[in-house]
Structure 1
């Protein structure tokens, strides 16, 4: 007998979709029916990346669904503030419509929503429809604990209502937790500037009010890694580190096809000899930054594996890049996307769901 129907809703970004997909595989393994909801833009990208593996059937029981994100086709979805606003205002209504249509078409009633905490405006829709809510935080428990205390930090004068640091100092939220500088808060970029303002901080300030909507908060972490954070917030449930399967074969919702040649290339290098360079799915470099990084890797003289998305550096000279690739062909490997779990050495311990040290080629 099926254990229930779970609707899974990540924030539309690669770093959120991947852990949600890993969790979805585990839920399917435990007998649950899972419907994975992406925005239409990300749904298309995931399906495109799955084509070499046989399409959506490669997901092995995870049903894929999509909803609009509220943005126009030509809007920049790397603009975090614009994306957050759209998800807050438009996605809840589309999610309600999707649930209604699925059940009208004969799909089993949705029992639970496992929703990204960043998508918390959708939790009210779930409660309205009689769906229980589990909130999933894809990063560390310590990061979530800091965000939960954003209003307190404003009251104490460490940050202002826009998220900027008011005082440049280091503080510790609780014993056993790492100290953090006010200029390095989770919602700040590398220059100390708030990302996605003002939508990001507005969303963070709502985190403390989610208790009435989400029955449980789960984190992609584990007790031993963050003793202080879990002691401060014992209601946080650690379920990580997540891995889709021990063999690292199940698709985890990548937006681009993985170039698996890099795994064999990496295996042929000595342990801890390779510099791995990757900036995720949203970062954009200008041509000058890109060329400086490339020349730095070349001058270092170390083997390197560099992930360069097709849209990573708009305006870059194709002839310059071709010449660079030719110069470093004997030292580095450049791919458009890679199976990161395998590259960074994620491998399950024998007879355990925990992650151990697998490949050790990366320095």
Structure 2
């Protein structure tokens, strides 16, 4: 009997690809045949990163496929063109991919599992009569805020463009992070055009999620108990998602990993290293970049810092950065990308200086690592509020009057986080709760079984 064939389609961005790939590995373990579909540009980057790590064999049952998005490279920065291309190009290309797979002898697609915001998949599923489920890759609280947009509009807290009408704190329910209206998940997102689109998608979240037979989240009930009480019953936590207990399977990285950091960590003492990483999208002004670098140097602790090639604008002096790396060579390591889950699970890591993207947040929680929060945009402020106000497993940096986090502020907060035994103990307890959720009999374990049973129908 042929394995059930699942087509999995993430939104083409690192924070969406990773949890979808982790979910794909889980479905392969349960006997499904998975085709993982990216648009061409991220597909090429995923394949390139896999080849750099030794090839695609570690995917073990996940077939990679790609479809065009109809965009030139520079057009991918124009949100209007992106949305137009999704409506105009992706449904037809997805239909052709399905037809070509079946013509080549691949099994008929039984289900599509897509990102909640990959609405072209909903169109294709309906046309082909394919059943559909979805993954929500952010916090359940973020989903709850989106579903409550009509109430926020009714209460006059935001206008019809999603912008705040009043500066006040919003808390949807006990246990849900309190947020300033200026930091709602669709605000502070790159450009006004992107902000408007994110708000529009937010208004469609409830409609899209109800079109899926089940929506699964990379979270667990004890982590977000208040948020899950606000959500429909077809939305279930299945996290923390992980590719495998040993963290050996690839998670769809768009950049090659520098694994030299792992033996470097092995040489450090337990609980000594400050790990600093800001995800795939954060960009720092050169002045802020220098303050960050000098703050790490000033802290005087071993540090591992992820610096992407596009992490700062082009007017940062290469000579200055080379001199900095030479000065700290004995205590610090700078890499362009790394296997973050393995890093966070390492005994040497003392704290995580993070932008608080949801993947990073869940990975830190799962490893019991205290946080120093430094959000950049969108839902990262919500995730910071979870860390500092609800779980109390970390602190946040405080920018000065010019919006700069100074080197003295960074040094001070690192020392506070690393030296706070109560923060460390709460982080450990949350790590243990994450383990219980995914162990046999745990809530996320049971929900994965429900999801698998549904996909076998």
Are positions 1:61 and 2:61 aligned together? yes
For residues 83 and 287 of structure 1, what CA distance do their matches in structure 2 show? 29
For residues 3 and 337 of structure 1, what CA distance do their matches in structure 2 show? 35
For residues 207 and 70 of structure 2, what CA distance do their matches in structure 1 show? 25
Are positions 1:235 and 2:217 aligned together? no
Residue 32 of structure 1 corresponds to: 32
The answer on whether the counterparts of 1:220 and 1:238 sit within 8 Å (CA) in structure 2 is yes
- What is the Cα deviation at residue 85 of structure 1? 4.9
The answer on whether the counterparts of 2:95 and 2:124 sit within 8 Å (CA) in structure 1 is yes
SS at match of 1:134: strand
Residue 71 of structure 1 corresponds to: 71
SS at match of 2:118: helix
Residue 140 of structure 1 corresponds to: 139
Structure 2 unmatched runs, 5+:
348-364, 373-417, 419-457
For residues 312 and 12 of structure 1, what CA distance do their matches in structure 2 show? 19
Change beyond 3 A, Cα 1:111–1:29:
same
User: Where in structure 2 are the equivalents of 1:282-321 lying within 5 Å?
Assistant: 282-315=281-314, 316-321=316-321
Change beyond 3 A, Cα 1:274–1:87:
farther
Residue 218 of structure 2 corresponds to: 220
Structure 1 unmatched runs, 5+:
348-354
Are positions 1:199 and 2:197 aligned together? yes
Indicate the larger mover: 170-179 or 102-111.
Answer: 170-179
The answer on whether the counterparts of 1:164 and 1:194 sit within 8 Å (CA) in structure 2 is no
Residue 351 of structure 1 corresponds to: none
Residue 359 of structure 2 corresponds to: none
Change beyond 3 A, Cα 1:42–1:360:
same
SS at match of 1:100: helix
For residues 271 and 82 of structure 2, what CA distance do their matches in structure 1 show? 38
For residues 360 and 162 of structure 1, what CA distance do their matches in structure 2 show? 36
- What is the Cα deviation at residue 272 of structure 1? 3.2
Change beyond 3 A, Cα 1:241–1:49:
same
Residue 185 of structure 1 corresponds to: 184
Residue 171 of structure 1 corresponds to: 170
Indicate the larger mover: 145-154 or 22-31.
Answer: 145-154
Indicate the larger mover: 158-167 or 98-107.
Answer: 98-107
- What is the Cα deviation at residue 102 of structure 1? 1.6
Using structure 1 for the length normalisation, give the TM-score.
Answer: 0.90
Residue 329 of structure 1 corresponds to: 329
The answer on whether the counterparts of 1:46 and 1:255 sit within 8 Å (CA) in structure 2 is yes
SS at match of 1:50: helix
For residues 186 and 36 of structure 1, what CA distance do their matches in structure 2 show? 28
For residues 126 and 177 of structure 1, what CA distance do their matches in structure 2 show? 34
Indicate the larger mover: 105-114 or 21-30.
Answer: 105-114
Change beyond 3 A, Cα 1:322–1:48:
same
SS at match of 1:24: helix
Alpha-carbon displacement from aligned partner over 1:233-286 (angstroms, at most 9, x marks no partner): 233111111000011100111111111121222233333332222121122233
The answer on whether the counterparts of 2:53 and 2:257 sit within 8 Å (CA) in structure 1 is no
Indicate the larger mover: 312-321 or 250-259.
Answer: 312-321
Alpha-carbon displacement from aligned partner over 1:103-144 (angstroms, at most 9, x marks no partner): 222211111111101212321211111111111001111111
Which has the larger helix fraction?
A: 2
The answer on whether the counterparts of 2:189 and 2:195 sit within 8 Å (CA) in structure 1 is no
Change beyond 3 A, Cα 1:147–1:346:
farther
- What is the Cα deviation at residue 149 of structure 1? 1.4
For residues 72 and 371 of structure 2, what CA distance do their matches in structure 1 show? 43
Residue 41 of structure 1 corresponds to: 41
Residue 402 of structure 2 corresponds to: none
- What is the Cα deviation at residue 34 of structure 1? 0.2
Residue 344 of structure 1 corresponds to: 344
SS at match of 1:333: strand
- What is the Cα deviation at residue 66 of structure 1? 0.5
For residues 370 and 260 of structure 2, what CA distance do their matches in structure 1 show? 17
Are positions 1:5 and 2:5 aligned together? yes
Residue 127 of structure 1 corresponds to: 126
- What is the Cα deviation at residue 228 of structure 1? 1.5
Using structure 2 for the length normalisation, give the TM-score.
Answer: 0.72
The answer on whether the counterparts of 1:81 and 1:197 sit within 8 Å (CA) in structure 2 is no
Indicate the larger mover: 173-182 or 157-166.
Answer: 173-182
